Amino acid sequence: METITTAGETRLDVLERIERRVLWLATAIVDHANRVRPNPSGLKVGGHQASSASLTTIMTSLWFRHLRAEDRVSVKPHASPVLHAINYLLGRLDTSYLTTLRAFGGLQSYPSRTKDPDPVDYSTGSVGIGATAPVWGALARRYLSSVGDVEHGPVGRQYSLLGDAELDEGAVWEAVLDANVLDLGEVVWIVDVNRQSLDRVIPGIAIGRVRGMFEAAGWQVLTVKYGTLLEELFARPGGQALRTRMDEMSNPEYQRLLRCGPGELRDRLVDGVEPVATAVAHLDDDALRASIRNLGGHDLDALDHVYRSIDDTRPTVIFAYTIKGRGLPMEGHPQNHSALLTAEQLGELAAGLGVDESEPWARFADDSDAGRWCADTAARLDRPEPRPASPPPLPADLGRTPAGTATTQAALGRALLDLSRLAPETARRIVTVSPDVASTTNLGGWVNKVGVWSARERVDWFADNAETILHWRERPTGQHIELGIAETNLVGLLGELGATWSRWGQPLLPIGVLYDPFLARALEPWSFGIYAGGQSILVGTPSGVTLAPEGGAHQSITTPSIGLEQPGCVTYEPAFAVDVEWILLAALGRLGRPDGCSAYLRLSTRPVDQTLAAVPTDPSARERRRRQAVAGGYPLRRAARPDVTIAAMGAVVPEALTAADRLDAAGVAADVVCVTSADVLFRAVRARQGQDDGPMWILDQTLPGERACPLVTVLDGHPHTLTFLATVNRVPHTALGVTRFGQSGSLAEVYRHHGIAADDIVQAALDLSE
């Protein structure tokens, strides 16, 4: 690092100059957004100058010294200005964007793969999710490599830069503890230990306990607490007492030292301890002030050493001690999280950093040492944009017409097995993921066929046991990944498996299966994964109060409407096995492509007579039914002249058909519409209004105007999910569904309790037809 450059400086001097410029640019980007750019609404723009300053040295050292083209980094959300500043110095961001932080079409508030104009490896912003994304990115890269879709080149490290307060998130520990993660030696977390959260200085000294938790999980734990100046002081007479004093000092006490004047700083630090006084006696006030701030996360030499100490055979966490707001007037203040420099303070900062404030966005001259370093770094980190390969062709129909009784949950497993037989190239790209529920969600047959993925092959000690039905063969060629009981891990991995088409140019077709009542637990990280560009299929099964004996703890209520409201996702709730097949194939066909999207399937364990589906035998009529099922619904029964229409979705379709029979016996003719997707039908309604892109034609085939009559909607979920259907023809309407917590009982009892039984449908129809 100490090599002399052409200007007579050491390389450390040049890197410090780059570090100062990064700090300036990050600070000025936020300043311009808040104080310079016009803001007619007066709405707070925001930004995080203090949080950016905390990570500036860490990121400068990482990018300009250690990062390689094959590496990827997830950047702490509040440090996005630092990332943009570095990208700008590397020539990856146009000057015009530096004034657009949090402006429409400009730099996003937090790093975004899909919306920022400069290179961003991982979208962050949802606390804890960005931290864990590189873990699942590493696993996805390993999976691709093991199935032969990525050339065996350098794997690359997967870095996470996260704040210490982010370690409060449960998602972090779910990832750390998962058994699959211990094999991922390319994972490196760098924790910015600035000892502050949004509102306060964190009172306790908790890092020792947290270090122990990582060590117990098998991670390599490295700490860079003090910089060169402090380490030199510790080696002097009285230095051990000074180290003990600083180690045992509470977080708030240390932060208070940063806000002291010279005399007060010395008095507070020494605190009457003679050896401490001896250790700092030779320092003048400026040197003492600099030394007390010389934490490891702001020392380029110390960081260089710790980065070179990373062991790539297991995951690594680095605790780098920093000061929030380092180098800015608000450094170390408890309420500096959203603080902004004044114009006067910004001018003083520019002078102190050697920047001409009249040219705030100036890059280094090309022929300067710093300019050459930036150019060399840009060349070292250059990587070609992947050219996404097209997913293999996918059949629209596997040709199966189920008979007897079947469940939609079992139909999923059957369809996967059929696909592996009839379309092996497509099936090879499918990877299923579940949180320890593969057998109870009917994936057993699929798992037996394709095996369980593992970074290394493990012995199946029950392979020769005749009583073992589910064979757990773990090997690098398996296509099912089993996680612990942690839904956040499940959807985090789904997001990264679903992003391989854009990261490495090779599409996977990931399907995650979890119990539907736990969808809400996984919703936020799954939604964030979709926002970040991941495309996957999430299957919630079993679902609804149809899980009658299971009771209210396992009976989902709001999930149908959640799916309808989720951007970047198409939601289905089929009633019959053949619908599951068609819908699954259509959903798989939307994955792994630039214009693709995710899907959510809500399935049931209720056995249903498959002859009720009345699947046409004529090929053209069957194709018509398939298109309707994928487009949101189809007419299941037509009366000569209907008095009422019953639109039912999912497990309660048999109740709708039974109700139609009873109504017919009472002289009330009923049409029955099988809704397969409230989501797609709602898009069709909005398309008719000119507000969305949806299949408007399906409305004329499911609810044609010439057959308009009073409407009863019913589903095993919240009734408001289907209420919009009444607006198609503006007819009188009654919505039946579940609005209360469930309880255990028989199916008939539970349906009656919630008012979704056949009798309730009949009564609603009679009330409307009077």
Other beta carbons less than 10 A from residue 499's beta carbon: 27
Assigned token pair, 637:
């029964």
pLDDT in tens, 121-155: 999 988 889 899 999 999 999 998 877 665 545 78
The residues that bridge with 190 in the sheet, in sequence order, are 161, 318
**Given this model, what pLDDT does residue 197 score?**
67
Single-letter code of the amino acid located at 213: M
| 723 and 735 Cβ atoms separated by less than 8 Å | yes
**Given this model, what pLDDT does residue 452 score?**
87
Mean pLDDT in residue range 364-389: 93
DSSP type of residue 163:
E
| 323 and 332 Cβ atoms separated by less than 8 Å | yes
Assigned token pair, 40:
């007619």
> Using CA atoms, how far apart are residues 457 and 445, in angstroms rounded to an integer?
20
Single-letter code of the amino acid located at 704: P
**Given this model, what pLDDT does residue 335 score?**
85
**482: part of which helix (H) or strand (E)?**
strand 480-482
**Given this model, what pLDDT does residue 66 score?**
97
In this structure, what is the dihedral angle of CA atoms 297, 303, 305, 308, given to the nearest 10 degrees?
130
The residues that bridge with 187 in the sheet, in sequence order, are 158
> Using CA atoms, how far apart are residues 552 and 742, in angstroms rounded to an integer?
4
Single-letter code of the amino acid located at 593: R
Mean pLDDT in residue range 12-19: 95
The residues that bridge with 733 in the sheet, in sequence order, are 711
Assigned token pair, 767:
């009330």
Does the pLDDT value for residue 4 go beyond 60?
no
DSSP 451-477: -EE-SS----TTTT-TT--S---EETT
Mean pLDDT in residue range 565-574: 96
Q: Is the peptide bond before 542 cis (omega within 30 degrees of 0)?
A: yes
pLDDT in tens, 570-617: 999 999 999 999 999 999 999 999 999 999 999 999 999 999 999 999
Closest Cα to residue 177, out of 230, 218, 227, 147?
Answer: 218
pLDDT in tens, 338-361: 899 999 999 999 999 999 999 999
Angle between helices 487-497 and 129-146 (to 10 degrees): 60
Higher pLDDT, residue 403 or 67 = 67
Angle between helices 369-381 and 11-31 (to 10 degrees): 80
Q: Buried b vs exposed e over 571-603: b needs ≥16 C-beta within 10 Å?
A: bbbbbbbbbbbbbbbbbbbbbbbeebebbbbbb
CA-only gyration radius of the chain, Å: 30
**Given this model, what pLDDT does residue 371 score?**
97
**Given this model, what pLDDT does residue 467 score?**
64
| 325 and 336 Cβ atoms separated by less than 8 Å | yes
Single-letter code of the amino acid located at 205: I
Average pLDDT, the chain: 92
pLDDT class for 471, splitting at 50, 70, 90?
Answer: confident
Higher pLDDT, residue 198 or 166 = 166
Angle between helices 300-307 and 49-61 (to 10 degrees): 60
Burial (CB count <10 Å: 0-12, 13-18, 19+), residue 354? exposed
Q: Which residue has the tokens 């214009």?
A: 595
Coil, strand, or helix at residue 37? Answer: coil
Tell me the CA distances in angstroms from 619 to 397, 399, 593, 635, 702, one per residue in order: 11, 10, 30, 18, 20
**Given this model, what pLDDT does residue 388 score?**
83
Burial (CB count <10 Å: 0-12, 13-18, 19+), residue 417? middle
Return the minimum-mean-pLDDT range out of 56-70, 443-457, 666-680. 443-457
Other beta carbons less than 10 A from residue 267's beta carbon: 12
pLDDT class for 656, splitting at 50, 70, 90?
Answer: very high
Does the pLDDT value for residue 390 go beyond 90?
no
DSSP type of residue 14:
H
| 652 and 767 Cβ atoms separated by less than 8 Å | no
**Given this model, what pLDDT does residue 203 score?**
65
> Using CA atoms, how far apart are residues 202 and 337, in angstroms rounded to an integer?
13
> Using CA atoms, how far apart are residues 267 and 439, in angstroms rounded to an integer?
66
> Using CA atoms, how far apart are residues 313 and 302, in angstroms rounded to an integer?
22
Does the pLDDT value for residue 700 go beyond 60?
yes
| 213 and 310 Cβ atoms separated by less than 8 Å | no
**Given this model, what pLDDT does residue 117 score?**
97
**Given this model, what pLDDT does residue 472 score?**
73
pLDDT in tens, 204-213: 667 888 999 9
> Using CA atoms, how far apart are residues 525 and 529, in angstroms rounded to an integer?
6
Does the pLDDT value for residue 521 go beyond 70?
yes
Does the pLDDT value for residue 437 go beyond 80?
no
Q: Which residue has the tokens 């690359």?
A: 156
Let me know how many helices (H) and strands (E) the chain has, helices first. Answer: 30, 20
Assigned token pair, 48:
């995080």
Q: Which residue has the tokens 């939601």?
A: 571
> Using CA atoms, how far apart are residues 117 and 92, in angstroms rounded to an integer?
9
Strands 670-675 and 633-637: antiparallel
Q: Buried b vs exposed e over 641-675: b needs ≥16 C-beta within 10 Å?
A: ebbbbbbbbbbbbbbbbbbbebbeeeebbbbbbbb
